[in-house]
Amino acid sequence: MTTDALASDKATRIHITRLHRWTDKLITFRTTRPAGYEFTPGQYARLGLHNGGVMIWRAYSLTSAPNEEELEFYGIIVEGGQFTSMLDRLKQGDELWLDRQVFGFMTPGRFDDGEDLWMLATGTGIGPFISILRDEQAWQRWRRMVLVHGVRHLHELAYADELKTLQASHAGIQGMAALTLLQAVSRDDPGQCLQGRITTLLASGALEHSAAMPLTVEQSRIMLCGNPAMIEETRKMLHERGMRPVRRMNPGQFVTENYW
Ligand SMILES: Cc1cc2nc3c(=O)[nH]c(=O)nc-3n(C[C@H](O)[C@H](O)[C@H](O)COP(=O)(O)OP(=O)(O)OC[C@H]3O[C@@H](n4cnc5c(N)ncnc54)[C@H](O)[C@@H]3O)c2cc1C
Ligand SMILES: NC(=O)c1ccc[n+]([C@@H]2O[C@H](COP(=O)([O-])OP(=O)(O)OC[C@H]3O[C@@H](n4cnc5c(N)ncnc54)[C@H](OP(=O)(O)O)[C@@H]3O)[C@@H](O)[C@H]2O)c1
């Protein structure tokens, strides 16, 4: 299919408006937002880049709030990765393609009940939770929210300052959730952060202890995003606690999104 045919039908051109490098491998990029492109926090877009004559498509969670003028994404540059090697070379003004359709079901609206929202992310899996927390809806819906970000190294704790600002600006306001931020670092001296993998910290009770809040079938609703092995191991632990994934006709306690 020619790019002109793509432009009129399945996909549309967008342009990079801003790039921020957190590390040499971690990048936040903002793009223009096509008219009529609507999404719910937690959903993802499909982005396309030309490689010779072929268009390469990859999924990217939206980190921007649904009411922002631009779209934002947070990504890692994978060594030798087909898409991200090209992404690494992009600069302000460069063109990408955006599938007109929005994807994904890992949204807080999947939960019919529960009072406490737990968001567990490894690495770039924090992306959808940034969008969720930039939107006022989640703050009004939940009594408490806990965001756990697990990374290898301290310098990979992207968005930490903005998250603290969001936490402070909602603190103590009637009708707004209280947000607990937990950071776990697996390969550095953790300093003020938790030490180790999210799964280890869940199994030991350290996450619940640090959040001063138990994970219960009645009250807790959990979103898991990022490394598929983390999600699989956590899923098993939640099963052992009597929790089940949300299905179309069946309410449950957790929803997941594997990044690879
Ligand atoms: C629903 C969904 C949402 C996604 N959202 C994001 C996002 O918001 N940000 C993002 O960076 N990626 C995201 N991804 C992954 C992304 O689509 C690509 O896989 C990634 O950009 C690498 O593409 P690539 O062609 O360079 O390498 P690929 O050939 O696609 O991947 C090569 C290998 O890199 C590793 N890898 C891929 N993605 C990641 C990652 N995010 N973190 C750590 N290791 C990874 C895996 O080991 C994978 O097998 C998402 C994937 C899915 C399915
Ligand atoms: N980040 C880097 O410095 C670096 C360096 C070289 C290559 N890469 C490439 O970058 C990608 C990795 O990126 P990333 O560091 O963002 O993601 P990642 O490998 O998923 O690591 C993020 C966090 O998830 C943890 N984790 C991994 N497997 C887990 C499991 N089964 N259960 C629970 N937690 C688990 C990691 O702990 P552990 O530390 O214990 O694994 C780490 O704390 C890979 O493609 C890799 O090849 C990254």
> Could you say which of 72, 99, 126 is where a domain stops?
99
Give the separation between CA 234 and CA 231, rounded to whole angstroms.
Answer: 5
**Residue 84 belongs to what domain range?**
3-99
Cβ neighbours of 172 (radius 10 Å): 7
Residue whose CA lies nearest to ligand 1 atom number 34:
78
Residues 121, 226, single domain; the answer is yes
Residues in CB range of 76: below 8 A, 6 or more apart: 25, 26, 27, 84, 123, 124
Give the nearest ligand 2 atom to 227 CA. 20
The burial class, CB within 10 Å (0-12 / 13-18 / 19+), for 39 is: buried
Residues 143, 247, single domain; the answer is yes
Q: Note whether 63 and 72 are within 8 A (CB).
A: yes
CA of 260 to the centre of ligand 1 (A): 6
Q: Check residue 232 and give its pLDDT.
A: 98
Give the nearest ligand 1 atom to 82 CA. 25
Residues 38, 86, single domain; the answer is yes
Q: Check residue 233 and give its pLDDT.
A: 98
pLDDT per position as a tens digit, 190-247: 999 999 999 999 999 999 999 999 999 999 999 999 999 999 999 999 999 999 999 9
Look at the chain and report how many structural domains it folds into: 2
Residues 79, 115, single domain; the answer is no
Residue whose CA lies nearest to ligand 2 atom number 17:
123
Q: Is the dihedral of CA 188, 182, 130, 222 positive or negative?
A: positive
Q: Which stretches of the chain drop beneath a pLDDT of 50?
A: none
Q: Check residue 43 and give its pLDDT.
A: 98
Give the nearest ligand 2 atom to 197 CA. 34
CA of 114 to the centre of ligand 2 (A): 31
Q: Note whether 26 and 19 are within 8 A (CB).
A: no
Residues 185, 230, single domain; the answer is yes
CA of 19 to the centre of ligand 2 (A): 23
